[in-house]
């Protein structure tokens, strides 16, 4: 398996240039769990999470308000466990708890870099993190804190992609940045079909009609109803979050 983030670009290359103006004021970054495994098959690679945190820090340095929805697929996926006989709702609750582990790891990495961070969970666990309170999340963002939304929506049978759409609408984010291991949306899986073409832009309806697996249908429908664009891009290339917020063409943009 390839490393989740390449190390070939020195970090200094990606430091914010003071004259550049970000395209967005408030973003929702969706980080899928699988990015966090790095070269491992499972779990959290501390080096990868440090690099993700570094990229977030750079974006915060531009004055952009950053909320994060973190997945849990690197630890536990409800659907996979239920296909092996586990009760689906129970498996989904385990999946949601997995996202909390990732959220806390990201908070730790960010705070080691002096980035003020709050984790809010959709399932209450007050000893560990704040409960999700929309107005409080917005206040944190206004104060320049990164807010990490963990435990998904708090409901089984949903995904963290849907969580990202929901939270983006709730907090008034202008865009969803979906960071994955693939550099955009392809007509077919590029790992299975190396000749597959990448889309530069897609409409929400294209994604739904073509049944592209980039985001689940519920997540896309929510974004369509509320006109929130989604940029799908790879975190393997250093500095990509910054490129997207500075308006460079990166990955695939899904919009109306």
Residues lying near ligand UDP in the complex (CB under 6 A) are found at 32-34, 71-73, 77-79, 91-92, 95-96, 98-99, 152-153, 155-156, 158-161, 163
Q: Do residues 145 and 200 touch, judged by C-beta distance below 8 A? A: no
Closer to ligand UDP at the Cβ: 36 or 246? 36
Distance in angstroms between the alpha carbons of the first and the last residue of the chain: 35
Calpha distance 41→54 (Å, rounded): 23
Q: List residues bridging with 254 in a β-sheet.
A: 202, 230
H/E stretch holding 181 reads none
Residue 156: CB minimum distance to ligand UDP, A: 4
Rounded (to 5) percent helix, strand, coil in the chain = 40, 20, 45
Q: How far is the CB of 30 from ligand UDP (least distance, A)?
A: 7
Q: Which CB sits closer to ligand UDP, 65 or 92?
A: 92
SS3 30: strand
Question: Within 13 A of 89's CA, how many CA atoms are on the CB side?
Answer: 2
Which lies closer to ligand UDP via its Cβ, residue 122 or residue 250? 122
The distance of closest approach from Cβ of residue 76 to ligand UDP in the complex, given in angstroms and rounded to an integer, is 6
Toward ligand UDP, which CB reaches closer, 40 or 203? Answer: 40
Task: Specify the residue, 77 or 246, whose C-beta has the smaller distance to ligand UDP.
Answer: 77
Which residue is closest to ligand UDP by CB?
Answer: 71
- Beta carbon of residue 246, minimum distance to ligand UDP (angstroms, whole number): 25
């Amino acid at each position: 398996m390839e490393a989740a983030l390449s190390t070939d670009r020195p970090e200094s290359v990606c430091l914010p240039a003071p004259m550049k103006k970000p395209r967005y004021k408030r973003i929702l970054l969706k980080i899928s769990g699988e990015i966090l495994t790095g070269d491992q098959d499972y779990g959290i690679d501390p080096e990868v999470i440090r690099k993700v945190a570094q990229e977030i820090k750079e974006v915060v340095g531009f004055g952009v308000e950053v909320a994060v929805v973190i997945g849990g697929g690197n630890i536990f996926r409800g659907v996979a466990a239920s296909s092996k006989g586990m009760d689906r709702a129970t498996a989904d609750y385990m999946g949601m708890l997995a996202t909390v582990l990732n959220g806390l790891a990201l908070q730790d990495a960010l705070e080691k870099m002096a980035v003020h961070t709050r984790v809010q969970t959709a399932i209450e666990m007050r000893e560990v993190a704040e409960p999700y309170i929309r107005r409080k999340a917005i206040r944190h963002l206004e104060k320049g804190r990164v807010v990490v939304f963990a435990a998904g929506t708090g409901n089984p049978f949903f995904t963290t992609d849907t969580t990202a759409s929901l939270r983006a609408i709730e907090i008034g984010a202008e865009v969803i940045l979906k960071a994955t291991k693939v550099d955009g949306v392809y007509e077919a899986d590029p790992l299975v079909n190396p000749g597959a073409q990448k889309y530069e832009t897609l409409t929400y309806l294209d994604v739904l009609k073509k049944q592209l697996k980039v985001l689940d249908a519920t997540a896309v429908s929510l974004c369509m109803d509320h006109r929130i664009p989604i940029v799908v891009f790879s975190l393997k290339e250093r500095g990509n979050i910054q490129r997207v917020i500075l308006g460079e063409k990166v990955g695939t943009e899904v919009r109306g």
